[in-house]
Chains A and B, each alone.
Chain A
């Protein structure tokens, strides 16, 4: 759980909740939503179509991490879930569950690295 908390800190999340007995950690971070290129593209398209440009402004990314002891009690199973709330330039919010497999794979790579670094007191 310490390594999990550390990897979330590595990724810039601030921790909101933790329940050690259940192995639960929830964290979040606020970031700008969408790249400048994306926004410019939307503005050009809206100008060409003669409509108002609607683009994402900021977002809050939530993460829920649960670690439980594995059945053989030799290790831990870690489950992670990402979701985000995105606000557009009209202050309208939408909720999105992040389902990109690569994000989850890369997260577990970073967690493995964190386990190694934490074990070596880094």
Chain B
């Protein structure tokens, strides 16, 4: 019986170590794969305009804006109805293009469905009157 308890404690301990590492750094896809479906590029050099469009798109989708940093190009918001959090980053890559990247969590899980991001970028493209291009 004593040996059984010891084995149980050992297994629990092992699970715990692996679980913390996975919780903090774990993702089901590679960095490149995730960036691919979470990012779109737009043919403009007006970062402030894109950020304003991101904010209004998030508001259209029912998000409450928690934070916006123009210099870093970050907008974060929370939706209570969808139980989700969304962070959108806007970065200028050259004088003609801006890359917008979104990542979200729904409940206790990271949102890893490309279609959800596709819908967000479609709404953003409509708000910007610009076509969204896939980032390669």
Contact = CB atoms under 8 A, between A and B. Distances in A.
Asked if chains A and B come from one complex, the reply is yes
A33 B23 CA distance: 8
B12 interface: yes
B27 A30 contact: no
A110 B39 CA distance: 18
A14 B91 CA distance: 17
Contact of A102 (B21, B89, B91): B21
B8 A44 contact: yes
The number of chain A residues touching the other chain, given as a range, is 35 or more
B32 interface: yes
A109 B12 CA distance: 28
A121 B98 CA distance: 10
The number of chain B residues touching the other chain, given as a range, is 35 or more
B35 A14 contact: no
Contacts of A6: 35, 89, 101
Contacts of A110: 25, 31
Contacts of A98: 20, 24
A5 interface: yes
A20 B69 CA distance: 8
A2 B11 contact: no
Given A2-B73, A41-B12, A103 B20 contact: yes
A43 B3 CA distance: 18
Interface in A1-37: 1-2, 5-7, 9-18, 20, 25, 27, 29-35, 37
A82 B24 CA distance: 8
A45 interface: yes
Interface of A: 1-2, 5-7, 9-18, 20, 25, 27, 29-35, 37-38, 41-42, 44-45, 48, 58-59, 61, 82, 84, 98, 100, 102-103, 106-107, 110, 113-114, 117-118, 121-122
Interface of B: 5, 8, 11-12, 15-21, 23-25, 27, 31-32, 34-36, 38-39, 66-67, 69, 71-74, 76, 85-87, 89, 91, 93-94, 97, 99, 101, 103-105, 107-110, 135-136
